[in-house]
């Protein structure tokens, strides 16, 4: 088992993350940690683990992004299976034991998906659980931006990951969303949902949007959506209309996010409206939306611009008429 940990400026969390892996009930693992040229105290903390035979550390000389780090980790990994773990998240003691047991009973699987918990400062301070179910069109959900699992939810066979093109180096945001969408579209994987699992990795919520301000967060969010459309839309050209229609809901979800950001006074209204206009006039959005779709969206935006408060149910309503 290889646990791949990409790291960038996580000095406040990286030690706890590593130690959460080292406490596993099943000790048949290696940690492959790829640091992306951190400028904080991360590297001095990593030196504390020098000599630990379970930990491989690779230090990038320049900042190359999280996906480069994940791909480097895949190439360095020696385990039969791989789990990705972000450098500020926590692994429960039973994680490897639970996931290996499932894969050994489902040997045909390329990957399996497990429940994940979420937290703010400490495990137990948030109730939200990332989970999905077997009787769902997971590709349809990802294309609609109804995300069914996150980066650490799956355990992969390394052999399967080696057969893919890896993580997309052009993606700075929505990196795992693009990856999961792409492998479901192109790899025809055999996978199962571990519906009876208990959450065995906990995802830390809210750091990015709070660290740099919401203006930067929402701009990055929009850029990530445009990059997602750039990479996924061409893969849908030979797909059914059901999947093409689903991609429209990814566009709507981004518009809802921008609109809600100024309705909640998280960003200036004029900034949000300009961002909306740039998004709707982008090549990526116009490739997906027809003229009728644009008319519906413009009516939605006009109503929102006229009314200075959030209208309960309007987002749900606009989705029903698409």
Q: Which pLDDT value is given to residue 262?
A: 85
Spatial neighbors of 200 by CB under 8 A, at least 6 apart, are 91, 92, 94, 95, 98, 99, 114, 115, 116
Three-state DSSP state, 265:
coil
Q: Taking all residues of the chain, what is their mean pLDDT, rounded to a whole number?
A: 90
Spatial neighbors of 300 by CB under 8 A, at least 6 apart, are 255, 314, 318
Residue 311: pLDDT over 60: no
Confidence bin at 309 (pLDDT 50/70/90): low
Q: Which pLDDT value is given to residue 316?
A: 61
Q: What's the mean pLDDT in 23-38?
A: 96
Structural contact between residues 98 and 18, judged by C-beta atoms closer than 8 angstroms:
no
The residue that leads in pLDDT, 164 or 291, is 164
82-91, 116-125, 272-281, 292-301, range with the lowest pLDDT: 292-301
* Residues across the chain: 322
Token look-up 């048949």 returns 28
Q: What's the mean pLDDT in 12-40?
A: 96
The residue that leads in pLDDT, 303 or 21, is 21
Q: Which pLDDT value is given to residue 269?
A: 87
Confidence bin at 211 (pLDDT 50/70/90): very low
Q: What's the mean pLDDT in 78-99?
A: 97
The residue that leads in pLDDT, 313 or 300, is 300
Question: pLDDT per residue over 177-188, tens digit each?
Answer: 999 999 999 999
Question: pLDDT per residue over 238-249, tens digit each?
Answer: 766 788 888 999
Distance, CA of 288 to CA of 297 (rounded, Å): 13
Residue 253: pLDDT over 60: yes
Q: Which pLDDT value is given to residue 212?
A: 55
Q: Which pLDDT value is given to residue 199?
A: 96
Q: What's the mean pLDDT in 166-174?
A: 93
Three-state DSSP state, 203:
strand
Structural contact between residues 152 and 110, judged by C-beta atoms closer than 8 angstroms:
no
Q: What's the mean pLDDT in 60-83?
A: 96
């Amino acid at each position: 088992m290889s646990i791949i940990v990409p790291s960038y400026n996580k000095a406040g969390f990286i030690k706890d993350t590593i130690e959460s892996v080292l406490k596993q009930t099943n000790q048949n693992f290696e940690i492959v940690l790829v640091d992306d040229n951190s400028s904080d105290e991360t590297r001095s903390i990593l030196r504390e683990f020098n000599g630990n035979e379970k930990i491989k550390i690779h230090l990038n000389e320049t900042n190359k992004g999280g996906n480069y780090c994940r791909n480097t980790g895949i190439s360095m990994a020696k385990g039969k299976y791989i789990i990705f773990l972000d450098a500020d998240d926590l692994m429960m003691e039973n994680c490897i034991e639970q996931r290996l047991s499932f894969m050994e009973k489902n040997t045909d699987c390329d990957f399996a998906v497990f429940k994940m918990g979420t937290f703010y400062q400490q495990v137990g301070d948030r109730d939200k659980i990332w989970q999905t179910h077997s009787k769902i069109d997971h590709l349809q959900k990802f294309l609609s931006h109804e995300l069914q699992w996150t980066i650490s939810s799956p355990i992969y066979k390394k052999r399967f990951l080696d057969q893919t093109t890896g993580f997309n180096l052009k993606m700075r945001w929505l990196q795992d969303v693009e990856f999961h969408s792409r492998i479901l579209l192109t790899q025809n994987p055999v996978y199962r949902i571990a519906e009876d699992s208990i959450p065995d990795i906990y995802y830390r919520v809210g750091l990015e949007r709070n660290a740099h301000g919401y203006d930067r967060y929402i701009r990055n969010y929009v850029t990530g959506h445009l990059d997602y459309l750039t990479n996924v839309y061409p893969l849908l050209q030979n797909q059914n209309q059901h999947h093409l229609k689903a991609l429209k809901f990814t566009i709507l979800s981004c518009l809802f996010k921008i609109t809600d950001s100024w309705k909640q006074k998280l960003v200036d209204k004029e900034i949000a409206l300009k961002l909306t206009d740039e998004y709707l006039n982008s090549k990526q959005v116009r490739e997906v939306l027809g003229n009728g779709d644009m008319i519906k969206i413009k009516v939605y935006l006009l109503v929102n611009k006229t009314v200075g408060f959030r209208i309960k149910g309007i987002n749900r309503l606009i989705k029903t008429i698409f």
